[in-house]
Amino acid sequence: MTSRREFLKIAGSASAGLVLGLRLQGKARPGAPAEPVFHPNAYLAIRPDGSALLTVPKSEMGQGVRTALPMVLAEELDLDWSRVELRQAMPGPEFQHLGTGGSTSVSTTWMILRKAGAAAREMLVAAAAQSWGVAPDQCHTEKGTVFGPGGRKASYGELAEAAAHQPVPKTPRLKAPKAFRILGRPTRRLDGPKIVVGKPLFGLDVRRPGQRFAAVLRCPVVGGTPKAWDASKALAVRGVRAVVQVPTGLAVIAEGTWPAFQGREALAATVRWDEGPNAAFNSQDLENQMRSALQGPADPARKVGAAAPALAAAARVLEAEYAFPFQSHTPMEPMNATAQVRSDGATLWLGTQNPNTAQVRAAAAAGLEPGRMAVHVTLLGGGFGRRSGTDFSTEAAQVAKAAGPGPIQVVWDRTDDIRHDQFHPATLHHLKAGLDGHGRIAAWSHHIAGGAVLRSWLEGQKSPGQAETEANGAWDIPYDIPALDIAFAEVQVPVPLGWWRAIEIVPNVFARECFLDEVAHATGKDPLALRLELLGRRGRVKLGGEEVDIARLRRVLELAAEKAGWGRKLPAGHGLGLACHAYDRRTYMAEVAEVSVKKGQLRVHKVVAAVDCGIVLNPEGLAGQVEGGVAWGVSALFSQITFEKGRTVQENFDTFPVLRSPDMPQVEVHTIASLEAPSGMGEPPVPVCLPAVLNAVFAATGKRLRRLPILSADLA
């Protein structure tokens, strides 16, 4: 694996369980619904009563996979949508690639699921045709029923047993998109009715017989260890059962979460830490290192033409530095996992984006083979990349192993969650644009300095694809510029880094699209006109070996600008700004933001988004993702994590403020109708939001904000 791109390809390369014809032996549980009799593959099963059990091979964190992916299966299978029940896939031989991230769930599973559904439908039709003595092509299906000539019909439930004896078709016929009856219709979340009545759906809701609770006292400085402590103070707290040492710190085991927290507080008053080698780490020093790194050698992410001579020969060179801070994920459900470790086997219950790796690592921590660690994936109370990490699941297995055979829920409080996040890294960006005598961009240089998320992901290894991964969003600049120099200069940071909603693309597109705006204003061009000129009338082009359809990007940009009324007269103090990007070369996004700045107060009134993500599976889900992506983007303009004395300054939502309802802009979503293969929507709405807002701030005030977060003094 060389890059995130490779990683995503592997993660998506045909989940196992595609193998048709696989039949599982089910054991009947008393009181449970009748066991499925037709189980042609790992993704679906049909019970004699006609209800369908669909397996979701990706984790649900709010992005809607537990609705969109079942819609794909149900479409090809012609199921009755009201008879669909869901089962969450567990890691195992059938499901080896459950990893959920990179907005890839739809693009990587869509064909697999279509084939799985279509094959099962053909088997049901074959069973019906056989019993009626007619040809299969005389039959058709609708809402869980096969219809034959002469008014004959049979429900899938009635046919299930006979269908199980039919041969599995090797190349099932897929529907033409125009025949879709379920896909493309606004469809509400299947889990919605359970969510609104507070059913136990999340990791923290897991309750097992005999369960205990644990809080871990970790050194606030990453890499620090406890030197001395007095457990008696913790053990004196009512409900505390034990204090055990684990690799991450000291775990207080108790009968409830609160006694565990109270016991931990008592323990904290007695502990002496060896803060280790990172005790002096701080954000200011790191920024100085990043600035030096921008002067030194950098790993090339993409080079086109000869940028250095072109810059040297340019009639005019513009340059600027942009800065993006560390960020925390802060999903509303803090990290947690419930683990039970016995000598013969173990179980994990948790919300994770990474069930297979969680299984392998937790099993290793428990001293077991991975196959002995059962992993139950719950709903995730927010993921945003944080739950791709396995630190919290491995730690839970360590605590459970140290504390004895019963189930233990390790609960992080909000301070744990922020302080021990796997942070989105801070970056500094140095951009240069060389203009020719006509004010056209002859060369573009974008150098990025900061920590490498990919190295953290690979547990310290530097991969050859590191620069390309960290410069994603910078190297795939879609504009027609004759010379490009895009590079990444790594600065080692001692805190763990992780992927965050829309990853490195957020800071990279922020810097790129704001700097392009600077070029527009410096050359007296309209920001929309300049972008359209640089996109040109091109179609599919290769950017660094990957194909991008520039015409699709141009169309979303034009659509967003048109719908937002680009160029219209605005009230005093208001401004419009825009940005566009082909996210991971797959999802085409443009956003136009309208802001006002009055008395130093920035208000984002409205964001108009245009998107082309190929075939839209669920328009309702898509709209939700754009709204959520805009919320994430606006929130990121105002938040930051800083380090002093090796630890985060921020500890909770008072010091790490996130977007709240009164500051949520109105969001308008426009979609391009398309028959292209569907791509992802969880992340793409985020990156363009930040530069659209900041470019609007410039339009409103003439102030160019190059440094995030926005501080009140910036607009005073």
629 part of the interface to other proteins, by CB under 8 A:
yes
Q: How buried is 207 (Cβ within 10 angstroms: 0-12 exposed, 13-18 middle, 19+ buried)?
A: exposed
Report CA 661 to chain centroid distance, whole Å: 22
197 part of the interface to other proteins, by CB under 8 A:
yes
Q: From 106, 110, 128, select the one nearest 38 (Cα to Cα).
A: 128
Count residues binding other proteins (CB under 8 A).
Answer: 64
- Using CB under 8 A, pick the residue from 113, 314, 630, 700 that binds other proteins: 630
State the minimum distance, in angstroms, from the CB of residue 188 to other proteins: 4
Of 304 and 664, the one with the shorter C-beta distance to other proteins is 664
193 part of the interface to other proteins, by CB under 8 A:
yes
605 part of the interface to other proteins, by CB under 8 A:
no
Residue 528 CA neighbour count, 13 Å, CB half:
22
658 part of the interface to other proteins, by CB under 8 A:
yes
- Using CB under 8 A, pick the residue from 48, 117, 383, 614 that binds other proteins: 383
Region from 85-93, 268-276, 379-387, 708-716 binding other proteins, contact rule CB under 8 A: 379-387
Residues numbered 144-183 forming contacts with other proteins, rule: CB under 8 A:
none
209 part of the interface to other proteins, by CB under 8 A:
no
Look-up: residue for tokens 């559904």? 117
380 part of the interface to other proteins, by CB under 8 A:
yes
Of 264 and 429, the one with the shorter C-beta distance to other proteins is 264
223 part of the interface to other proteins, by CB under 8 A:
no
Rounded Cα–Cα distance for residues 279 and 646 (Å): 4
Rounded Cα–Cα distance for residues 238 and 138 (Å): 72
414 part of the interface to other proteins, by CB under 8 A:
yes
Report helix, strand or coil for 593: strand
Contacts of 367 (CB under 8 A, 6+ apart): 401
140 part of the interface to other proteins, by CB under 8 A:
no
Rounded Cα–Cα distance for residues 23 and 92 (Å): 15
Of 70 and 451, the one with the shorter C-beta distance to other proteins is 70
Query: Which helix (H) or strand (E) segment is 468 a member of?
Result: helix 466-470
Of 41 and 330, the one with the shorter C-beta distance to other proteins is 330
661 part of the interface to other proteins, by CB under 8 A:
yes
Rounded Cα–Cα distance for residues 22 and 379 (Å): 27
Per-position x/- string for 57-96, each x denoting binding to other proteins as judged by CB under 8 A, each - no binding: ---xxxxx--------------------------------
Q: Are 105 and 89 in contact (CB under 8 A)?
A: no
Q: From 86, 98, 87, 23, select the one nearest 57 (Cα to Cα).
A: 98
Q: From 299, 309, 34, 74, select the one nearest 180 (Cα to Cα).
A: 74
Rounded Cα–Cα distance for residues 498 and 53 (Å): 34
Tokens for 377, please give them: 């994936």
132 part of the interface to other proteins, by CB under 8 A:
no
Rounded Cα–Cα distance for residues 345 and 368 (Å): 7
Of 61 and 593, the one with the shorter C-beta distance to other proteins is 61
Rounded Cα–Cα distance for residues 370 and 362 (Å): 8
What pairing do the DSSP bridges indicate for beta strands 153-155 and 212-217? unpaired
Contacts of 456 (CB under 8 A, 6+ apart): 422, 496, 497, 498
- Using CB under 8 A, pick the residue from 268, 308, 664, 672 that binds other proteins: 664
State the minimum distance, in angstroms, from the CB of residue 628 to other proteins: 4
Look-up: residue for tokens 């008592």? 266
427 part of the interface to other proteins, by CB under 8 A:
no
State the minimum distance, in angstroms, from the CB of residue 489 to other proteins: 32
Residues numbered 253-312 forming contacts with other proteins, rule: CB under 8 A:
255-259, 262
Q: Are 36 and 596 in contact (CB under 8 A)?
A: no
660 part of the interface to other proteins, by CB under 8 A:
yes
- Using CB under 8 A, pick the residue from 332, 522, 677, 711 that binds other proteins: 332
601 part of the interface to other proteins, by CB under 8 A:
no
385 part of the interface to other proteins, by CB under 8 A:
no
Region from 160-168, 302-310, 312-320, 619-627 binding other proteins, contact rule CB under 8 A: 619-627
687 part of the interface to other proteins, by CB under 8 A:
no
| Alpha-carbon dihedral angle through residues 514, 331, 192, 375, given to the nearest 10 degrees | 120
Of 3 and 327, the one with the shorter C-beta distance to other proteins is 327
352 part of the interface to other proteins, by CB under 8 A:
no
Which stretches of the chain bind other proteins, using CB under 8 A?
Answer: 60-64, 188-189, 191-193, 195-202, 204-205, 207, 213, 238-239, 255-259, 262, 330-334, 379-384, 411, 413-414, 620, 624, 627-632, 635, 652-654, 658-662, 664, 666-667
